[in-house]
Amino acid sequence: MKISYSWLKEFVNLNLSPQELASSLNQIGLMVESITAAGEDTVFEIETYANRPDTLGHLGVAREIATLLDLNLKTRNWPLKELPQTTAEMVDINILDPQLCPRYCGLVVKGVKVGPSPDWLKKRLEAVGLRPINNVVDVSNYVCFSLGQPIHTFDLSKLKGGKIKIRKARKGETIRTLEGETVELDPEMLVIADESTPVAIAGVIGGEESGITESTSDVFIESANFNPVSIRQTAKKLGLSTDASYRFERGADPNAAPAAAVMAASLLCEFGGRVSKGLLDVYPAPRKPRTVTLRLRRVNELLGLEIEPEFVVKILTGLGLKLKEQGPQVWTVEIPSFRVDLEREADLVEEVARFYGYDRIPSAITPVKSFELPADRKRDRVWRLKEVLFHHGFDEVINFSFTDPEKEQLWQTGCQPIRLQNPISAKLSILRTSLLPGLVENAVWNFNREAEGVHIFEVGNIYYWEQEETHRENLNLGILTTGLRSGRTWKETEKQTDFYVLKGAVEDICNYLGYENFSFEPVEHPFFEPGQGLRILVKNEPVGLLGLLNGNLARSYDLERPVYCAEIDLNELLRKQPRTFSFQPVPRFPGTSRDLSFLVEDSLNYQQIQQQLQKLNIPYLENFLIYDRFQGKALPPGKVSFSVRFYFRHSARTLQTEEVDRAMQEIISQLKSTLKIQLR
Amino acid sequence: MSSLLKKIDHYRQLFTEQVSRVKEAREVEELRQAFLGRKKGHLTLLFEEFKTLGPEEKKNVGQMLNELKSDIQNSLAEMEQKLKAPARVKQLEDLTLPGRQLYWGAPHPITLFQREIERIFISMGFSVEEGPEIETDYYNFEALNFPPHHPARDSWDTLYINDTLLLRTHTSPVQIRVMEKKKPPIRIIIPGKVFRRETPDPTHLPMFYQVEGLVVDRGITFAHLKGTLEYFIKALFGEKIKLRFRPSFFPFTEPSAEVDIECIVCGGQDSACRVCGGSGWKEILGAGMVDPQVFKNVNIDPEVYSGWAFGLGIDRTAMFAFQIPEIRHFYENDLRFLRQFNRR
């Protein structure tokens, strides 16, 4: 909202510099966003709030500044040159829907010479960014931006039968607006109609037909009050926001309507007009003023202050509130109709605080009376998991939660996507059902910008319809690795990433989060190349997938290099109870190790061997490590060789060679029966 | 007799000569074998010869022989000590070559900044809460005292899923969810993703991060709000940062405030500053005393309890703190941007 300094001076005598005025406005919350010199005038762009329609006119701003500076508002007179006829003789106002139009005031001004406005008026309007049109339209804007009360002017001769009906539109009715567009009205919209047709969309915009033109001589002034919700819904439906609708939807002051009509009429007298006798004021159910009880104790309790009662009385009175002492330091406060925001005691506390000055309120430490540890460790574990990934050299990314449905469809995530009703664009119109498409796009972005390797992860929600009407958001982890893992150094050649880089990271997440009971099983999934995907199981329940990205999918992003990626359901993973830590005594006696190489059928994989080895029941066997797997021409066909190192230890003494020999014999014999091993 | 003395002399010379040429520990061992070897060592043989001498001769020669033996032993031991350690280590050629560095992944700057904020509040006894990103109109607006069809909603331009579901426009609905479940005292912060129907530009995006704070207890005042936020901002931006509180409007707080901090880019000196627009102040957060209607909506008696709340945009604050010109950088995930943040 633009405020002109000269215009403000019509309401209050000020002799502050523009800078001083700006800092005063800031103190009371009328935040000055810019100060612009405009000839002799200065224009302030101020931030206004949705609950303060009273500040949408110069009068309201003047009232605030006058209260702060302890000045009086000027009273202005609006003399009228009256006609002998009464308004009622010329027009007939009929409110058919008093819910949507609580008050309607009208005056007729005859014999107005329509033409350009005088300079003083043009200057006022131009200062606040309005374009002067003609003296009649300019007067209505001047009144609106003075008092914050929108008024509308009609060409009286175009109002058929001199009738003004405030009613809902009828089905099928249309109107051509002042902006020259024909709009269809619907029966929820309030209109101003004459005998037969709508002549204006109430509180939003006038009709072209009944508008003021060069040939207008008799003007009907409308100064009314409309229901804020109705105006807002109409304006939204029509996609129109006007100076009038902006004020009405915030709640205009019904008691400003008569004064605004008179002010407009008085100004039109300057252009040859003569005003009908007696304001026609239709106000079927006059609103009773609101009262609020204010306790000084409460003011001090909420602000942490000791404020003098005199200060409270002075400020609130200055703002137009009427205080009546109800008891010691307790008042019944009558709220003026222009302050729609003041409804409760807390609202009045804010008024006191604003004018006292937030900067003068002392600062204190918020007292703590109890302490509390977080109920669950989920957040800590998510951070732990990120640390594991940082350690493995993965960078963290964050992608938008919205995505392109066409791209997402290629992934066949199997989740029913959630569509936005009013997306920013078609490419951002659904919520992601997987983290991987975003990670792949990040890889593409970086490869296009000189990156040679991309190793990234994201922790974030995916979203989908679980059933019809039941939505679900789920915390997932996505990991991607592609391209160069490390560059060339004097010590080492460059290395490409591979599947086991990814798998190692996934395994370490499980290890370092205490989920030691994890395993993998082959899975066919549209994300991956056939036979190149694994499902991750923790405690035998699936928590995620990893594998080599499907080639067709990669090519649809113009990715040539192999991409390895994983997606883990963190809600599922972190729900599981990690192993509870227990201290193991540090060994006091030396251990010993033995290696064993053997052949098995090549249908057996590492994990199956490992699971069988874990089942061995051998005294003093502390641990084992499968350190080699070999397959090739040197071996009999259909066989694969594994090498295992077994570690033995006795907790209370050094083991004898013979004991270890016996244990190895036992291992060999058990593996011969379980894995059908052949010693090499 | 004299022949034996001569031999002693000869071997003493021989030893002195040979020991001076020794360069490796291996050669020390060879010398030891040559002179002191059990069967064929030069001295062993001399001792054999010595046994054949008569008692008079033995007296004189014995002393010489023993001296020679102990001299050789001492000399070899000394030599061995000297050669032992360095001989086994290979010398490095260029110690200034770079060491084996490990690449440590970079946390996203939003994560980093969020953790920094959390750290400060946790040190003040706050705990961290989270809530859903898909919200209902009730939690996102109505319970927070936004009447239906009120223009106040315009500042929270919303992405809707259907008539009741939407993407939360702020973290404030979590205030309601926590207060519904928990009785005061409440002392929490709520970080998270929020969504607005904003067309992307250098300072606006349809998704960004916020952190919300809420304190509810008996006797909580605006002075507590000020004191706590002042401490927080100074912890984040340094002790010397200037800040100001000014009145504002939020439906869910009354009185409401906005907090500006002095522009750390231009310090108010540049009238064309792209960060503060020349005002010298940068708006950083919104705050206020919890609105009594919000308390009523969660069955907390506003006559008994009071509270304060604040909300801050993590992205914008991080942009300001790190002087990042465009909010878009956060979600482009360019590694040249992201990797800067593991050096912080």
* Residue in the structure block whose two tokens are 């370092």: A512
**Residue B332 contacts A where some CB pair is shorter than 8 Å:** yes
The two tokens of residue B316 are: 């914008």
Q: Quote the minimal CA–CA distance from A434 to chain B in Å.
A: 16
* pLDDT at site B86: 58
The two tokens of residue B158 are: 């919303």
CB pairs under 8 A between A and B: 236
Nearest residue in chain A measured CA to CA from B271:
A34
Contact (CB<8Å) B167/A401 = yes
pLDDT in tens, A506-518: 999 999 999 989 9
Cα–Cα dist A164/A33, whole Å: 42
Question: In degrees to the nearest 10, what's the CA dihedral of B325, B327, B332, B336?
Answer: 30
Average pLDDT of span A168-185: 94
Q: Which residues touch A232 (CB under 8 Å, ≥6 apart)?
A: A245, A249, B149, B150, B151
Examine the pLDDT at A290 and tell me if it is beyond 70.
yes
Cα–Cα dist A516/A309, whole Å: 69
* pLDDT at site B263: 84
Report A:16-35 residues touching B (Cβ under 8 A).
26-29, 31, 33-34
Examine the pLDDT at A377 and tell me if it is beyond 70.
yes
% of chain B at pLDDT higher than 70: 98
Contacts of B226 in chain A (CB under 8 A): 358, 361-364
Topology at the third CATH level for domain A290-360: Phenylalanyl-tRNA Synthetase; Chain B, domain 1 (3.30.56)
Q: What are phi and psi of B234, to 5 degrees?
A: -70, -35
pLDDT in tens, A437-474: 999 999 999 999 999 999 999 999 999 999 878 999 99
Contacts of B225 in chain A (CB under 8 A): 366
Topology at the third CATH level for domain B109-343: BirA Bifunctional Protein; domain 2 (3.30.930)
B323: left (phi over 0), alpha (psi -120 to 50) or beta: left
Band (A373; pLDDT cuts 50, 70, 90): confident
Nearest residue in chain B measured CA to CA from A347:
B254
Per-residue 3-state assignment (H helix, E strand, C coil) for A287-316: CCCEEEEEEHHHHHHHHCCCCCHHHHHHHH
* Residue from B174, B242, B335 whose CB has the most chain A CBs within 10 Å, to mutate: B335
* pLDDT at site B89: 74
The answer to whether the beta carbons of residues A202 and A226 sit under 8 Å apart is yes
* Residue from A389, A396, A464, A497 whose CB has the most chain B CBs within 10 Å, to mutate: A396
- Rg (Cα) of chain A, in Å, rounded? 40
* Residue in the structure block whose two tokens are 């992307």: B200
pLDDT in tens, B323-337: 898 899 999 999 999
Q: In sequence order, what are the beta bridge partners of B311?
A: B212, B286
**Coil, strand or helix at A344:** coil
Contact (CB<8Å) A301/B306 = yes
CA distances from B145 to A55, A127, B191, B297 (A): 22, 36, 21, 9
* pLDDT at site A680: 81
Examine the pLDDT at B54 and tell me if it is beyond 90.
no
Strands B127-128 and B186-195: parallel
Q: What are phi and psi of B64, to 5 degrees?
A: -60, -45
Nearest residue in chain A measured CA to CA from B147:
A229
**Residue B137 contacts A where some CB pair is shorter than 8 Å:** no
* pLDDT at site A97: 96
The residues of chain B that CATH labels 3.30.930.10 are 109-343
Average pLDDT of span A9-35: 94
Band (B47; pLDDT cuts 50, 70, 90): confident
Share the mean pLDDT of chain A. Answer: 94
**Residue B146 contacts A where some CB pair is shorter than 8 Å:** no
pLDDT in tens, B124-136: 999 999 999 999 9
Contacts of A344 in chain B (CB under 8 A): 254, 292-293
Q: Which of A317, A260, A230 is nearest to A105 (CA)?
A: A260
* pLDDT at site B15: 87
**Residue A421 contacts B where some CB pair is shorter than 8 Å:** yes
Contact (CB<8Å) A420/B155 = no
Examine the pLDDT at A88 and tell me if it is beyond 70.
yes
Contact (CB<8Å) A302/B289 = yes
* pLDDT at site A491: 86
Cα–Cα dist A56/A49, whole Å: 9
* pLDDT at site B281: 87
Q: In sequence order, what are the beta bridge partners of A174?
A: A184
* pLDDT at site B87: 56
**Residue A489 contacts B where some CB pair is shorter than 8 Å:** yes
Contact (CB<8Å) A390/B104 = yes
Between B150, B199, B333, which is nearest A399 by CB? B333
The answer to whether the beta carbons of residues A413 and A434 sit under 8 Å apart is yes
pLDDT in tens, B190-236: 999 999 999 888 888 999 999 999 999 999 999 999 999 999 999 99
pLDDT in tens, B249-298: 999 999 999 999 988 878 778 877 777 777 788 889 999 999 999 999 99
Question: In degrees to the nearest 10, what's the CA dihedral of B272, B273, B274, B275?
Answer: -150
* pLDDT at site B61: 83
Max mean pLDDT among A373-382, A387-396, B81-90 falls in A387-396
pLDDT in tens, A35-60: 999 888 999 999 999 999 999 999 99
The two tokens of residue A255 are: 């008691």
Examine the pLDDT at A182 and tell me if it is beyond 90.
yes
Question: In degrees to the nearest 10, what's the CA dihedral of A211, A216, A220, A225?
Answer: 30
- DSSP code at position A201: E
Contact (CB<8Å) A424/B198 = yes
Topology at the third CATH level for domain A2-69: Phenylalanyl-tRNA Synthetase; Chain B, domain 1 (3.30.56)
pLDDT in tens, A490-549: 888 999 999 999 999 999 999 999 998 999 999 999 999 999 999 999 999 999 999 999
The C-alpha angle A159, A164, A167, rounded to 5 degrees, equals 125
* Residue from A366, A402, A470, A502 whose CB has the most chain B CBs within 10 Å, to mutate: A366
Report A:339-358 residues touching B (Cβ under 8 A).
341, 344-347, 349-350, 353-354, 358
**Residue A192 contacts B where some CB pair is shorter than 8 Å:** no
Q: Quote the minimal CA–CA distance from B87 to chain A in Å.
A: 25
Examine the pLDDT at A249 and tell me if it is beyond 90.
yes
**Residue A386 contacts B where some CB pair is shorter than 8 Å:** yes
- For chain A, give the number of residues: 680
Q: Which residue ranges make up each domain of chain A?
A: 2-69, 82-282, 290-360, 378-575, 592-679
pLDDT in tens, A311-365: 999 999 999 999 999 999 999 999 999 999 999 999 999 999 999 999 999 999 9
CA distances from A246 to A147, A149, A174, B198 (A): 14, 11, 22, 21
Cα–Cα dist B15/A300, whole Å: 104
* pLDDT at site A169: 96
Q: Say if A82-282 and A592-679 have the same CATH topology.
A: no
* pLDDT at site B75: 85
* pLDDT at site A273: 93
The C-alpha angle A562, A565, A566, rounded to 5 degrees, equals 160
Band (B66; pLDDT cuts 50, 70, 90): confident
The answer to whether the beta carbons of residues B25 and B83 sit under 8 Å apart is yes
* pLDDT at site B232: 97
Contact (CB<8Å) B134/A451 = no
Q: Which of B331, B199, B112 is nearest to A400 (CA)?
A: B331
A27: left (phi over 0), alpha (psi -120 to 50) or beta: alpha
* pLDDT at site A634: 87
Contacts of B206 in chain A (CB under 8 A): 400, 402, 424, 428
In 10 A of CB A626, how many CB atoms? 13
H-assigned helices in A467-623: 499-512, 551-556, 570-575, 606-614
ipTM over 0.85: yes
Q: CATH for A82-282?
A: 3.50.40.10
* Residue from B108, B162, B164, B183 whose CB has the most chain A CBs within 10 Å, to mutate: B108
Topology at the third CATH level for domain A592-679: Alpha-Beta Plaits (3.30.70)
Contact (CB<8Å) A302/B132 = no
* pLDDT at site B202: 83
Strands B306-313 and B207-217: antiparallel
Question: H or E stretch including B177?
Answer: helix B173-181
Q: Quote the minimal CA–CA distance from A351 to chain B in Å.
A: 8
Contact (CB<8Å) B105/A52 = no
Q: How far is C-alpha A551 from the chain's CA centre?
A: 38
In 10 A of CB A329, how many CB atoms? 15
Contact (CB<8Å) B254/A371 = no
Between A50, A366, A400, which is nearest B152 by CB? A50
**Greater confidence, A574 or B43?**
A574
**Residue B235 contacts A where some CB pair is shorter than 8 Å:** no
In 10 A of CB A81, how many CB atoms? 15
Topology at the third CATH level for domain A378-575: BirA Bifunctional Protein; domain 2 (3.30.930)
**Residue B176 contacts A where some CB pair is shorter than 8 Å:** no
Band (B1; pLDDT cuts 50, 70, 90): low
% of chain A at pLDDT higher than 90: 93
Cα–Cα dist B306/B89, whole Å: 73
Contact (CB<8Å) B223/A34 = no
* pLDDT at site B2: 65
Q: Please, what's the b/e burial string for B255-270 (b: 16 or more CB within 10 A of its CB; e: otherwise)?
A: bbbbbbbbbbebeeee
**Coil, strand or helix at B167:** strand
**Residue A42 contacts B where some CB pair is shorter than 8 Å:** no
Kindly list the strands in the beta sheet with A621-630, ordered across the sheet, starting from the edge strand earlier in the chain. Answer: A621-630, A639-648, A592-601, A678-679
Examine the pLDDT at B245 and tell me if it is beyond 80.
yes
Cα–Cα dist B104/A395, whole Å: 8
Share the mean pLDDT of chain B. Answer: 90
**Coil, strand or helix at A225:** strand
Contact (CB<8Å) B100/A491 = yes
